[in-house]
Amino acid sequence: MTDQPVAIPAPPQTPLFHSLEQLRYVRQSHLREIQERTASRVIAYVGGPASSIDQVDIPPVGDLLYDVHEGDNLDLLLQTQGGDVDQAERLVMMCRKKIGPNARFRVVVADSAKSAGTLIALASDAIVMGYCSELGPIDPQVTIVTANGERMNRPAQSFLDGLDEIINSVGGGNLSPAYFPLLDKLDPALIDFCKKAIQRSERFASEFLKRYMLKDDPATAAKVAKTLNDSRTHLSHGAVIDAQKASELGLNVTYLPPDDDLWQAYWRLYCEMRIALQNPAQKLYEGQQASLLLA
pLDDT tens-digit profile of 140-173? 777 666 656 677 676 766 656 666 665 566 555 5
Closest to 85 (Cα-Cα) out of 9, 12, 141, 155: 141
The domain that holds 103 is classified in CATH as 3.90.226
Contact 74, 92 (CB under 8 A): no
3-state secondary structure the chain: CCCCCCCCCCCCCCHHHHHHCHHHHHHHHHHHHHHHHHCCEEEEEEECCCCCECHHHHHHHHHHCCCCCCCCCEEEEEEECCECHHHHHHHHHHHHHHHCCCCCEEEEECCEECCHHHHHHHCCCEEEECCCCEECCCCCEEEEECCCCCEEEEEHHHHHHHHHHHHHHHHCCCCCHHHHHHHHCCCHHHHHHHHHHHHHHHHHHHHHHHHCCCCCCHHHHHHHHHHHCCHHHHCCCCCCECHHHHHHHCCCEEECCCCCHHHHHHHHHHHHHHHHCCCCCCEEEECCCCEEEEC
Q: Are residues 30 and 120 in the same domain?
A: yes
Q: What are phi and psi of 285, to 5 degrees?
A: -115, 125
Q: Please give the single-letter amino acid code of residue 253.
A: V
Check whether residue 24 and residue 115 sit in a common domain: yes
118 and 170 assigned to the same domain: no
Q: pLDDT at residue 128 above 70? A: yes
CA R_g for the chain = 22
Residue 77: inside a domain: yes
Residues 101 and 66 occupy one common structural domain: yes
Query: Mean per-residue pLDDT for 285-289?
Result: 95
Is residue 76 domain-shared with residue 172, that is, in the same domain?
A: no
151-155/253-255 β-pairing: unpaired
Within 10 angstroms of residue 271's Cβ, the number of other Cβ atoms is: 12
Q: Is residue 235 part of a domain?
A: no
Of 180 and 149, the structure prediction assigns the larger pLDDT to: 149
The answer to whether residues 182 and 276 belong to one domain is no
Please state the pTM of the whole predicted model.
0.86
Q: Looking at the structure, do residues 132 and 245 belong to the same domain, yes or no?
A: yes
What range defines the domain where residue 268 resides? 18-136+240-294
Asked whether residue 200 is assigned to any structural domain, the reply reads no
What average pLDDT does this structure show over 198-206? Answer: 92
37: closest CA among 102, 101, 128?
128
The confidence score (pLDDT) of residue 5 equals 65
| Contact criterion met (CB below 8 Å) for 191 and 160 | yes
Q: Residue 268: what pLDDT?
A: 98
Number of domains in the chain: 2
Task: Specify if 228 maps to a domain.
Answer: no
- Domain assignment of residue 174, yes or no: yes
pLDDT at residue 94 is higher than 60: yes
Mean pLDDT, all residues of the chain: 87
> Do 30 and 176 reside in the same domain of the chain?
no
Considering the domain boundaries, does residue 203 fall inside one? no
Does a structural domain hold residue 204? Answer: no
Q: Are residues 166 and 279 in the same domain?
A: no
User: In the prediction, which pLDDT does 19 show?
Assistant: 85
